[in-house]
Each structure stands twice: as structure tokens, then as C-alpha cells.
Amino acid sequence: MKRTILWLIIAMGPCFALAQTKVNKSYPVAKGQTVSFHFDYPKTVHISTWDGSEIVVEATVKINNGESDRAFSLSASTSGNTVSISNKLDMDLIPEAYYIVDKGIKVRFNSRQDLDAYVADKGSTRISTYQQKDVEVSINIKVPAGISTELTSIYGMVELENFNGPIKVDAKYGGVDASLSEKSIGKLQLTTRYGKIFSNLTFRPTEQTQKDFYTAITAAPGNGPSYDFNSAYGNIYLRSSVK
């Protein structure tokens, strides 16, 4: 029993000691330009507009319990009238983490040898094990109001609120959660293939298509920017920002 407790302390110790890393970047953008974001692994991407003149991106990073945070970086480039901002995740810098689930309790190990020793010490065959690269990233974005924006997120959920400007969001696996004022929406386009669309807004669609693994809704409920939300595998949540 004492040896088992020791294994738990060794395995869980780094979880308490290491913190997250903040990556803060700002990028110039001019009126009339378009900003294009592309992110792969962030769990959530939160985006809003503000009164400033720059694009502000803040990433909260915790990779391999904070030991491999340097594997994450942000990069930007300008081509023609488009400012492109994306993330890079160097998988070669991230080691595998090893886990066991024993009676509903998940324990993390830094090596296969430590995991095998724990399982041998427990002497149980009813313990499930698995391995993965531990990546926890969330991103918060502020875009100057009125700037045309495109945002692609492969795995993470895109959260949008207080966004005053035209935007197109493509969240392939994670989905979209947007809070908007209905009267401030010009054109609205919602599209999902394997997910569903949920909304507490009262607009009437001008066009609606629903068939196997495809739902598309178009509407023009008010006056303002256009909003285009798409997710191939996730859900789309459209909420009223008016309380």
C-alpha cells in the first residue's frame, strides 16, 4: 500500500508544480485589410472586436505539464491585402505521456517504465492504459471593429461574442458558439454537415436546406455585418447577446 501511494506521488507531482505559459502578440492591420486566422490544436478560440487599432492574440499554453510549452508558437505574414496569423506546434518536441485508469482514477506517468512498474506493483489486470501527447492550448483574439475576418479552427471550439465586423468561421471538428444581437446581423449563413444547429434567436430563414448529414440556413434578420459559421463535424450554437 505504501509503495502504491509513493507511485501516485511520483506520477502526480509534476502536475502541481508546473504552470501555464502566456504567449502574447500584437499585429498591425489597416482599414480595408482582411485578417485570416488558422489554428490547429487550441481547445478553444475566443474572438471579439475592440476599439484598438491592432490585432491582439493571447495564447495560454500548457504542453506536457508545462515542460514542452516551447513547442507552440505564433507566426504572421502579409500578402497583398490579407494579414495571415497561424500557430505552429512542433510535435517532435512533445514526448508521449502514459496513463492508467484504475477504479476511475486517472494517473499520469512520464515514461512507459514507470507505468509498467506501477501496474506490476498493483498486480491487477483490470487496469486500462493509454498514451498521448498532452497539449492544452486556448487562444483569445481581439480584432479592431469593422475589420473583415476569416477564422479556421481544425479541432477547437470557436467562441464569438461582441464581434462587430464581417466574419467567416470554419470550425471543422470543434463547432461554433456565437453570441450576437439579432438586430445587428446583416446576412447570416449557418452550415453544418454532421452536427446540429441550435439557436434562441427568432429570425425567419430566407433559405433553408436539410438532408442527410447537411444543414444550411440563410437569413437576414437585421442591419449590420455578415456572419458565416460553418462546422463539418461540430454543432453551431447561436445565442442572443441581449439579456
Domain ranges of the chain: 2-91+136-240, 97-132
Q: Given this model, what pLDDT does residue 125 score?
A: 63
Percentage of the chain surpassing pLDDT 70? Answer: 92
- d(CA 11, CA 227) in angstroms, rounded, equals 46
Distances (CA, A) of 202 to 168, 183, 198, 221: 22, 10, 12, 9
Q: Given this model, what pLDDT does residue 16 score?
A: 43
- d(CA 127, CA 139) in angstroms, rounded, equals 35
Q: Given this model, what pLDDT does residue 103 score?
A: 80
User: Which of helix, strand or coil describes residue 17?
Assistant: helix
* pTM higher than 0.85: yes
Which residues of the chain fall short of a pLDDT of 70? 1-18, 124-125
Q: Given this model, what pLDDT does residue 124 score?
A: 66
Contacts of 37 (CB under 8 A, 6+ apart): 45, 47, 84, 85, 86, 141, 149, 150, 151, 152, 153
